[in-house]
Amino acid sequence: MPNPLEHVRNSFPILTQMRQYRKAWLRDDLAAGLTVGVMLIPQGMAYALIAGLPPEYGLYASVVPLLIYAMLGTSPHLAVGPVALMALLVASAASTVANSPEEHIAISILLALMAGVMQFALGVLRMGFIVNLLSRPVLSGFTSAAAIVIGLSQLHHLLGVDSVSGGLHEILFGIAVQVGQINAWTLAIGTGAIVLVLALKKRAPRVPGSLLAVGAGIVGVALTGLHEAGVSIVGEIPDGLPNFSMPMLEWALLRTLFPMAAAIALVGYMESIAVAKAIQEKAGGYEVDPNRELIALGAANIGGSLFQSFPVTGGFSRTAINYDAGARTSLASIFSAVIVALTLLFLTPLFYYLPNAVLAAVIMTAVYGLIEVGEFRRLWRLGHYDRYMFLATFVGTLFAGIEEGIVLGVALSVIMLVYRSARPGFTVLGRVPGTSVYRNIRRYDTEHEEGVLIFRLDGPLHFANAKYFREKVCDTIRHTSRVHRLVLEFSGVNDMDSTGLDELFALTDHLKEQDIDVRLAEVRGPIRDFIHKGAGDEREMPLHMTIEDAVRD
Amino acid sequence: MPNPLEHVRNSFPILTQMRQYRKAWLRDDLAAGLTVGVMLIPQGMAYALIAGLPPEYGLYASVVPLLIYAMLGTSPHLAVGPVALMALLVASAASTVANSPEEHIAISILLALMAGVMQFALGVLRMGFIVNLLSRPVLSGFTSAAAIVIGLSQLHHLLGVDSVSGGLHEILFGIAVQVGQINAWTLAIGTGAIVLVLALKKRAPRVPGSLLAVGAGIVGVALTGLHEAGVSIVGEIPDGLPNFSMPMLEWALLRTLFPMAAAIALVGYMESIAVAKAIQEKAGGYEVDPNRELIALGAANIGGSLFQSFPVTGGFSRTAINYDAGARTSLASIFSAVIVALTLLFLTPLFYYLPNAVLAAVIMTAVYGLIEVGEFRRLWRLGHYDRYMFLATFVGTLFAGIEEGIVLGVALSVIMLVYRSARPGFTVLGRVPGTSVYRNIRRYDTEHEEGVLIFRLDGPLHFANAKYFREKVCDTIRHTSRVHRLVLEFSGVNDMDSTGLDELFALTDHLKEQDIDVRLAEVRGPIRDFIHKGAGDEREMPLHMTIEDAVRD
């Protein structure tokens, strides 16, 4: 029986961390927590902007979820909070359903609850494996396209023109017709911020560039009064911590939002687990558990949604900074949350003069790195059909829409899986002279005995390919002269179902009528058992250990 | 360049048959054609009844489609025409959409057009493989449940009570409350017909029992005037051949019917190809081509729909009779169509007194054999998860509905395929003493070198299982003492994508840091090429031909 105390300790990894805590770590955790907290403030506000929410909601999403993840998460380094991709998914879902800014907020929070419940349930049911449906090429294609969509969605803030929504071409066209209305001051501030952030990133990567740009923007506008010259600013931000409030629950709304919430849950988890695993490999000394991560992220989203938070997940850049700044335990994340909470309590008036163009610059510089040109080049060189998965998802996301793109990618991946599985490879083998090794006759110089055909199936044998298998065996026999013995090399047959078994028996009977003797070799243990069971007493299937045994007699 | 004449000959297999025709065959073809034609008359009318159509539509479906299939089909023995399963699918689709008997007819004909276009398109695109999505357990479960539903749907005809529609329990309940209204004469006629057909089937299988029952029923009612005592009869059947008429085409209707038409196209093709292949194996001497069969069935349904035919396919019982009666070529089917056409022209008045109870008896005795109890027992004994596929489809079809059942079966099959593919088997190998053969250490007495772990993956390595693969390798290393070399036996890895490749490289790097040397052995040719391409110049992957080479150095 498991020790109940140990169970509690396993459920809350932070307890183990605290028991092993050394005093010297406190300084490291504090330094990392402060660094990430300071990054969170501009990023949180910027991502709220992407999601179509007032800036304070980005800060709300940076308090409660961080505390919950710190308690439950299996990664001490993962920095959870608002990220660009989730914000974009939220914007896409909420803008199609909401009829007012208030509804937009309520729906964003409801999405956090729904995605959280899904993640939590998947974790409890130990169904973490289903996120594997999102292959890396699909995820890369999706992220790259989403980065472009996010960047473009901020363009109007940078130019000081009216916002334009819709697909890629609609945004570009909508902005093109407003070229005459571009506000030069806004453009100058935005471009300046981009240059500042990029320069600092390159020259002084430890300096929090985006916070500096935010500071410079606030001071600049406050001193010059440019907001009266048409530079749009953030304006008044209500102070105070997020309140407890129940998300609105309506059956019809839940049904409508279901697919979007599923996409948020899936994409959020994928991003988070990828980051957590990458940092774990660098850091070592602990193990990230996929199902427990789902539970932790789910709880963070559920708990967050009760305190006005939109969907969050573990983000790439802040996690890297957290680790680089020396974080030792989850305490670092708690310090980050405290920084944001203090800001909400006391510092919101500071952001009154913050130009929206600066936030747009923060976003654009952050998402630029997500466009994975290198990955696409690599896939193209590999020459695998994966490159078309990337391309289809990329183009689909860019032109058809955010959800459509990801659904397309997942559907294509599953279809390819079934298709590949329906067309397994097969090979004719011959003996490498002087050995008992048998190899592909097209790749090696081999010899073979007269009238003996050795056929290797490179895949499972099941309903989706049983007929194909039989056809290929019969075709091969037809193209080989006077076959009297067929050896089926089954080392590659790693799965079989009743349809496959029936076809194997039917093939054997069919060939027996043509005086061809069928033998099996190198059959995997579980498959051997299955064939024996299916054959019963009436039927004998000659199973040989090696090809040599089967060929010789 | 292909010879154009040969192309024509390939497209119309009947031309080749006619070139090789021998005079002696004519008698055989005529005898078989007459036998099947005579069977078609009661069956066609009965299946029209299942589809919810007037009886003459069953005869219409037995003329034009037969002629078209005879021209294009690659099986000289397949008897195409109305079958019970297709009729049931038509009834299920049309009854939910149609608002009047006229609409019910129009929709049934439209379904033939739609299913025909789908079959034709799948054949032209050479996508016959997608029908493999319907595994045999799913098809058996579906057919068994459908047979029960069909049988029950005829029960009210047999009892002479009002028709009841709906699910299984609704039909049973609806009939139970009408027990007092049962017409004794109707019940006597129906039961008599069932007994007659079954007895003849057993004692004199060559006698066309259903036609005899039909004749006896007509004569009996005409002589006794029992139709005035409440025995329901077929009544007036309009004479004349089916007219040319365009199916009604409406965008909204096409969209609504799309999934049902797809089910009809898929199920129809599955039933037909299974029968055609089974007879081909018995008869020999010709080859049934799946894609050309799709084209032929598609053309038969399209052409049929232009002449008032509902969806048809190759049926089991009539094909068996056709073959047993000695059919040599497609000419037999043409003779069958002529028999039906002559009946439509001259003999329809004969059927005026035919009791509906006799048609119900014909249906019930025909579908009884479709309940595959034996197949279910066999699956249960096999102990494979296939038995749950059968059960789920059976129960789903029986209680949730015809389309729902089949969709459930296909969806479950695909999910299982992905799931199985996400959890491939793996094995630790050891050397069989005194040989160079390596086998599962749990199944054989093996020996192994200190610190060398031989890990065999029994499946492809792709996005759906790359993470699982890595976890299992790391777990196994953790549970083996002091591993310094890992040999990955890849003979079972028959497919790999870029996600799998990345994980393989990452695993190798990760283990190198722990001073574990990774080697690959028995890698399939295409996979070897793919790994080489992915590794490029920067990375070396040690690939060994045999396990022995990899273990030794």
Question: Nearest-CA neighbor of B549 among B477, B464, B462, B489?
Answer: B489
A-to-B residue pairs, Cβ atoms closer than 8 angstroms: 161
The yes/no answer to whether this complex scores an ipTM above 0.95 is no
Q: What is the model's pLDDT at position A113?
A: 96
Question: Is A494 part of the contact surface with chain B (CB cutoff 8 Å)?
Answer: yes
The residue of chain B nearest to residue A274, with distances taken between CA atoms, is B467
Does B262 or B407 have the greater pLDDT score? B262
Least confident of A275-279, A388-392, A488-492, B101-105: A275-279
Q: Are B135 and A499 in contact (CB under 8 A)?
A: yes
pLDDT confidence tier of residue A421, bands split at 50, 70 and 90: confident
Mean of the pLDDT values across residues B410-431?
83
B319-341 pLDDT, tens digit each: 888 888 888 999 999 999 999 99
A470 contacts on B by Cβ (under 8 Å): none
> A425 to chain B: nearest residue by CA?
B494
Yes or no: say if A468 and A423 are a contact pair by the CB < 8 Å rule.
yes
Closest chain A residue by Cα to residue B475: A287
- Residue-by-residue DSSP string for B243-297: PP-PPP--HHHHHHHHHHHHHHHHHHHHHHHHHHHHHHHHH-SS---HHHHHHHH
Q: What percent of chain B has pLDDT over 70?
A: 98
Task: Name residue, tokens 């998914």.
Answer: A89
pLDDT tens, position by position, B73-113: 999 999 999 998 899 899 988 988 888 999 999 999 999 99
Across chain A, mean pLDDT equals: 87
Nearest residue of chain B to residue A289 (CA atoms): B471
Residues 6 or more apart whose CB falls under 8 angstroms from that of A280 comprise: A75, A77, A286, A287, A288
Confidence of residue B371 (pLDDT cuts 50, 70, 90): confident
The pLDDT value recorded for residue B130 is: 67
Share of chain A above pLDDT 90, in %: 33
pLDDT above 70: percentage of residues in chain A: 98
- For position B53, what pLDDT does the model report? 94
- Chain B stretch 449-478, residues whose beta carbon is closer than 8 A to a beta carbon of chain A: 458-460, 462-468
Asked whether the predicted pLDDT for residue B166 surpasses 90, the reply is: no
B475: number of Cβ within 10 Å: 11
pLDDT above 70 for B47: yes
Q: How confident is the model at residue A411 (pLDDT cuts 50, 70, 90)?
A: confident
Q: Is A278 on the interface with B (CB under 8 A)?
A: no
Interface contact A134-B495, CB threshold 8 A: no
Q: What percent of chain B has pLDDT over 90?
A: 33
Pairing of strands A452-458, A425-431: antiparallel
**Which of the pair, A20 or B518, is modelled with greater confidence?**
B518
With bands split at pLDDT 50, 70 and 90, how would you rate the model's confidence at B449? confident
Give me the pLDDT at residue B61, please.
96
The 10 Å CB-count burial string (b at 16+, else e) for A502-523 is ebbbebbebbeeeebbbbbbbb
The predicted structure's pLDDT at residue A508 = 93
pLDDT at A130: 67
- Residue A2 confidence (pLDDT) above 60: no
pLDDT digits 0-9 by tens, A206-224 = 777 888 888 899 999 889 9
Rounded to the nearest integer, the mean pLDDT of chain B is 87
**Average pLDDT, stretch A255-283?**
85
- Does any CB of chain A come closer than 8 Å to the CB of residue B497? yes
B525 touches chain A (CB under 8 A): yes
Residue of higher predicted confidence among B109 and A127: B109
B17-26, B62-71, B227-236, B383-392: range with highest mean pLDDT: B62-71
Token pair, residue B86, equals: 């297709």
pLDDT of amino acid A261: 93
pLDDT at B8 over 80: no
Gap between the Cα atoms of B363 and B194, Å rounded: 9
Q: Is the confidence at residue B278, as pLDDT, over 70?
A: yes
Beta strands at A485-489 and A452-458: parallel, antiparallel or unpaired: parallel
Is a pLDDT exceeding 70 seen at residue A402? Answer: yes
Identify which of A43, A40, A39 has the alpha carbon closest to the alpha carbon of residue A358.
A43
Start-to-end CA distance of chain B, whole Å, equals 54
Confidence grade of residue A5 (pLDDT, cut at 50, 70, 90): confident
Residue B524 and residue B490 in contact, taking contact as beta carbons nearer than 8 Å? yes
B377, containing H or E segment: helix B373-382
Unique residue bearing structure tokens 């020259």: A203
Q: What is the largest CA-CA distance in chain B?
A: 97
**Residue range B461-484: mean pLDDT, rounded:** 89
Contacts of A502 in chain B (CB under 8 A): 136
Average pLDDT over residues B13-36: 87
| Helix (H), strand (E), coil (C) string for A27-67 | HHHHHHHHHHHHHHHHHHHHHHHHHCCCCHHHHHCCCHHHH
Query: Residue written as tokens 């109007």?
Result: A156
A440: part of which helix (H) or strand (E)?
A: strand A438-440
Asked if residue B150 has pLDDT above 70, the reply is yes
Q: Does the beta carbon of A129 lie under 8 angstroms from any beta carbon of chain B?
A: yes
Query: Taking CB atoms and an 8 Å cutoff, what residues of chain B touch A526?
Result: 425
Q: What is the pLDDT of residue B241?
A: 92
Task: For residues A349-368, give the mean pLDDT.
Answer: 87
Average pLDDT over residues A464-471: 88
CB contact under 8 A, A129 and B422: yes
Q: Tell me which DSSP letter residue B461 carries.
A: B
More confident of the two residues A366 and A460:
A460
- Using the beta-carbon criterion (under 8 Å), do A281 and B510 form an inter-chain contact? yes
For residue A464, which residues of chain B lie inside 8 Å, CB to CB? 129, 132-133, 135, 413, 417
A282 or A391, which is more confident: A391
CA distance to partner chain A, nearest, from residue B547 (Å): 11
Most confident of B100-109, B142-151, B235-244: B100-109
| Predicted local confidence at residue A76, as pLDDT | 93
pLDDT of residue A469: 92
Nearest CA in chain B to A535: B382
Write the CB contacts of A343 (distance below 8 Å, at least 6 apart in sequence): A41, A59
At A53-76, the pLDDT tens digits run 999 999 999 999 999 999 999 999
Query: Is residue B1's pLDDT more than 60?
Result: no
Task: Determine the pLDDT at residue B195.
Answer: 93
Residue B55: how many other CB atoms lie within 10 Å: 22
Nearest to A491 among B417, B425, B491 (CB): B491
The strand pair at B313-314 and B80-81 is best described as antiparallel
Q: Looking at residue B286, what is its pLDDT?
A: 85
Residue type at position A504: L
Distance in angstroms (rounded) separating the CA atoms of residues B505 and B501: 6
Q: What confidence tens digit (pLDDT) does each residue in B342-368 have?
A: 999 998 888 889 898 998 888 888 788
Rounded Cα gap, residues B496 and A327, in angstroms:
37
Q: Is the pLDDT of residue B504 over 70?
A: yes
Residue-level pLDDT at B78: 94
B177 pLDDT exceeds 80? yes
Top mean-pLDDT range of A314-328, B57-71, B222-236 = B57-71
Q: Hey, is the C-beta of A497 within 8 angstroms of any chain B C-beta?
A: yes
Give B486: exposed, middle or buried? Use CB within 10 Å, 0-12, 13-18, 19+: buried
Inter-chain CB proximity A135 and B379 less than 8 Å: no
Mean of the pLDDT values across residues B209-232? 87
pLDDT at B338: 95
The CA distance from A495 to B39, in Å, is: 44
